[in-house]
Structure 1
Amino acid sequence: MLDAKMSGSLADVIFRALPNDDNCFGRIVSSKYDMKIETIDSKKILLSHIIVKPRSFDVLKASEFELILKDINKLRESMKLAKSSKQFSITHQKETNYISISFGHITRKMAVAQGINSELIENKLKHPFTIKLKAKELSRGIRAAQSISDKVTFSADPEKFEISASSETDSVQIQIGLENGHNIFDNSPNTYSVSNTNFNFNTGSNKKISSSFPIAYLAKVAYAFNDNDEITISIGNNMPAKIAFTSNDNSYEISFCIAPLVQKDF
């Protein structure tokens, strides 16, 4: 059972975070503690998670269950309409095979199937490098790269984090270092870390971390954030990147995992 009522501004958050993909599979995982929306595209390149905490809801009555949505775009379209409302609601009764989304004088029903609760995939990833920065830095890097290449490379060394793209004739690099006031910190032993204001290079770590990603999917990720949102980007060598944001009041979290391009994709 699910009976959740929340503001239209939260509908806008969900709308922006749901990837615009015609073949996107999704699920809603509900409990008395929060509501999670997870999506993955048909090519299994981009995984998204939205976690909405109880303080975000005007009303939250829920039992533990998982619902499967075969077409997440229908939910995205509903959120697009609901974001202009003062309040909207999502309801589901155990004996039915649909959820209802109501706002204003509109009620929309969407078919769902029961699922089995499982661990979020991104929780298993251990990235050696993470940087905090404003979302506008990511958006700026993507815009600069779009006219040059269909892929973007994230890389890090003891001095900087870099967003870059190149073609046979052109290239662009956006370099972000500690001198710009960004917070780069260590997630595991023998990797990059920061002590005070200096970028320390620990013995035994690789001298550079680098992975490349399809720019079309990164653009979908960047759309989810406002320019001044402080996001974290976590990367490793040839492993999925995690890009995440937590609201200032800790009422919701948004995160994405994007698969890297391997050599045969270049």
Structure 2
Amino acid sequence: MLDATIDADVFRESVDAIAALVTECRLHATEQGLRTRTVDTANVAMISLELEKDVFESYQATSSEMGIDIVKIKNVLSMMGKGDQVHLALAEESRKLEVSFQSYQYSITLLDTNTIRKDPNAPTIELPGKVVISGAALSAAIKAASVVSDKIALGIDPEKGIFYMEAEGDTDHIRLELGDDKLISLVPVQARSLFSLDYLKDMGKTMSKAEKVEISLGIDHPVEFTFDIADGKGHVMYLLAPRIEAD
């Protein structure tokens, strides 16, 4: 069972964060709020999202699991205006999520959760390098790198005390170095991995709105991005596997 009301902009930001990686997910409703954890079809990237119950104008739920078609939800959200309140309702044993706002009432058929892959386990990998940067600065660097290449190296040089982002194409090259004066914080541990810009561009659209994003890095390891939404009452984590560099 679910009966909740939430600001349309907060709901839209949450759905956009999920849509950056997947088109469907298992959404779990509990007494504490909503959450999902899922990986993309290529098993390259994962998202974990949590919305605390305090995000909602009103919230009541019992433990339930819903198969959500993210594309359908985004289409419904496109009809909502700024400042709208969205009411979400799921009755016991119902196969439909009722979504209401203004004078509109949508009844969206849920996906069969048996057709959606199970939630992945939480990552346990050690990523010692830590960088905290504004979401706008991170997104701008990702966009700049995509002009010259389809991949980007993220790294930390502890001797220089910098975080760097570097991309190299067939003929062009870009490198951005950021020190303490341009970062919120830095744990200067040697780190460097190469990543697909196709994934990072999609993630960057959501991360661009975050006041700060924590980046966790290792050497030829995945990268983890964590940031808050909904005034700190919502939490997003992206995990992206590295690309293998050619010799």
Query: Per the shorter chain, which TM-score range?
Result: 0.7 to 0.9
Q: Is the 8 A contact 2:131 2:183 kept in 1?
A: no
**Contact 1:136–1:228, Cα closer than 8 Å, also in 2:** yes
1:23-60 CA-to-partner distances (Å, cap 9, x unmatched) read 63311011111111334322122222221111111111
Distance 1:83 1:42 in 2: 32
Q: Do structure 1's residue 6 and structure 2's residue 6 form an aligned pair?
A: yes
Secondary structure at the residue paired with 1:82?
Answer: coil
Q: Deviation of residue 97 (structure 1)?
A: 1.8
Q: Which amino acid aligns with 2:92?
A: K
Residues 77 and 162 of structure 1, relative CA distance in 2, 3 Å threshold: same
Mark the runs of 5 or more structure 2 residues left unpaired by the alignment.
none
CA distance in 2, matches of 1:83, 1:237: 44
Which residue of structure 2 lines up, in the alignment, with residue 79 of structure 1? 77
Task: Give the letter aligned to residue 67 of structure 1.
Answer: M
Identity within the alignment, %: 19
Q: Distance in 1 between matches of 2:80 and 2:40?
A: 23
- Aligned with 1:180 (options 175, 179, 182): 182
Deviation at 1:5, TM superposition (A): 0.8
Equivalent residue number for residue 201 of structure 2: 219
**Contact conserved, 2:67 with 2:113, CA < 8 A, in 1?**
yes
* Residues matched between the structures, number: 243
Q: How does 1:245-264 map to 2 (within 5 A)?
A: 245-247=227-229, 249-263=231-245
What amino acid is aligned across from residue 242 of structure 1 in structure 2? E
CA RMSD after TM alignment: 2.6
After superposing on structure 2, the runs of 4+ consecutive aligned residues of structure 1 that deviate more than 4 Å are none
Aligned to 2:154: 154
* TM-score, structure 1 as length reference: 0.81
Q: Is the Cα–Cα contact under 8 Å of residues 130 and 232 in structure 1 kept in the other structure? A: yes
**223, 232, 238: which is aligned to 2:214?**
232
Distance 1:29 1:227, change over 3 A: closer
Give TM-score scaled by structure 2 length: 0.86
**Residues in 2 aligned to 1:57 and 1:237: alpha-carbon distance in whole angstroms:** 40
Instruction: Evaluate the alpha carbon distance shift between residue 134 and residue 253 of structure 1 in structure 2; reply closer, same or farther with a 3 A threshold.
Output: same
Cα deviation, residue 155, structure 1: 0.8
3-state DSSP class of the match of 1:178?
A: coil
**Matched residues in 2 for 1:149 and 1:260: separation?**
15
Q: Counterpart of 2:73 in 1: which secondary structure? A: helix
Match of 1:224, SS? helix
Residue ranges of structure 1 left out of the alignment (5+ in a row): 187-191, 193-207
Which amino acid is 2:136 matched to?
A: K
User: Partner amino acid for 2:135?
Assistant: A
The SS at the match of 1:81 is: coil
